[in-house]
Structure 1
Amino acid sequence: MASDEGTVRVDSWIWSVRLTKTRSLAAAACRAGHVRVNGERVKPAQAVRLGDEVRLREAGYERIVVVSRIVRKRVGAPVAAECFVDNSPPRPPREEAALVAHRDRGAGRPTKRERRDLERLQGR
């Protein structure tokens, strides 16, 4: 199941330790330039070794992990948590649910005043 020596493909490792949901998403992230190993952009087949720093950017947030164990196959969440050291900054807090402007169905187009009120409510 797990091996503590050698190397493994970066896309396979990212998927194995559950940083992405599928291996194809991990490979796509590599091809798009969202994955860096030791500061350099990598292709999906790039080898990962113990001690390498892997940065994965997803949805405006960057995960920074240091490889502490090499795994070749997908492992369970408790085991996956032992395979890397997470040095990521804390996620920004989720924005409060913004007030949503509600208009009655069939009320027609908003007037200029109503539109400005809607924009002010949405923070524009």
Structure 2
Amino acid sequence: MTITNLTNTRIDKWLWAARFFKTRSLATNAVELGRILQNEQRIKPAHAVKVGDMLEIHHAEQIWQVEVLRIMEVRSSATIAQTMYAETAESITKRQQRAEHKRLHTEPAAQLQQRPTKRQRRQLANVSVE
């Protein structure tokens, strides 16, 4: 199978080859659940993706908006995979803002290593009210 002469491929294969998902079955599952939008529309895993398509990918609390630049069906190195798409500037800023917000606003219960004591539960209740 030639890598350079492809004009389109299945969306689940492309997502796997572009390294958005570790396995093809995870990519297929994400498409079936509607977490992948192609040109702002829900699609099926066998739907073809071609150069110029805009994809919105929701994965692991991250949202990417990318334009397809290259089609490949085989998974290769991460540096090659990054040449397959271009992320929009708006998407980059939104992801950075979400990461910054998550870094600054941690969940109070996330710091607990075990079940909270009665005293800790009271403190948590007071923090969440404020």
Task: Report the TM-score, using the length of structure 1 for normalisation.
Answer: 0.80
Higher relative contact order (CA closer than 8 Å, sequence separation 6+): 1
Select between 4-13 and 36-45 the one with higher mean Cα deviation. Answer: 4-13
Tell me which residue corresponds to 1:89: 92
Q: Is the 8 A contact 2:6 2:72 kept in 1?
A: no
Question: What secondary structure sits across from 2:64 in the alignment?
Answer: strand
Equivalent pairs counted in the alignment come to: 117
Show structure 2 runs of 5+ residues with no match. none
How far did residue 72 of structure 1 move?
Answer: 1.2
Q: Is the 8 A contact 1:14 1:26 kept in 2?
A: yes
Tell me which residue corresponds to 1:29: 30
Distance 2:73 2:87 in 1: 19
> Any runs of at least 4 consecutive aligned residues in structure 1 with deviations exceeding 6 A, and if so which?
none
Q: Is the 8 A contact 1:3 1:72 kept in 2?
A: no
Q: What residue identity is the alignment partner of 1:95?
A: R
Over residues 94-124 of structure 1, what are the superposed CA-to-partner deviations in whole Å (9 max), with x where a residue is unaligned? 3345553588x9xxx626xx63223224x35
Distance 1:46 1:57 in 2: 17
Task: Report the TM-score, using the length of structure 2 for normalisation.
Answer: 0.76
Distance 1:8 1:34 in 2: 19
Rg comparison, structure with higher value: 1
User: Percent of pairs identical after alignment?
Assistant: 31
Show structure 1 runs of 5+ residues with no match. none
1:46 aligns with 2:47: yes
Over residues 66-111 of structure 1, what are the superposed CA-to-partner deviations in whole Å (9 max), with x where a residue is unaligned? 00001011121111111110112332123345553588x9xxx626
Match of 2:122 among 106, 109, 116: 116
Give the root-mean-square deviation of aligned CA atoms.
Answer: 2.5
Distance 2:5 2:65 in 1: 20
Q: What residue identity is the alignment partner of 2:92?
A: P
Distance 2:30 2:112 in 1: 36
Distance 1:101 1:84 in 2: 40
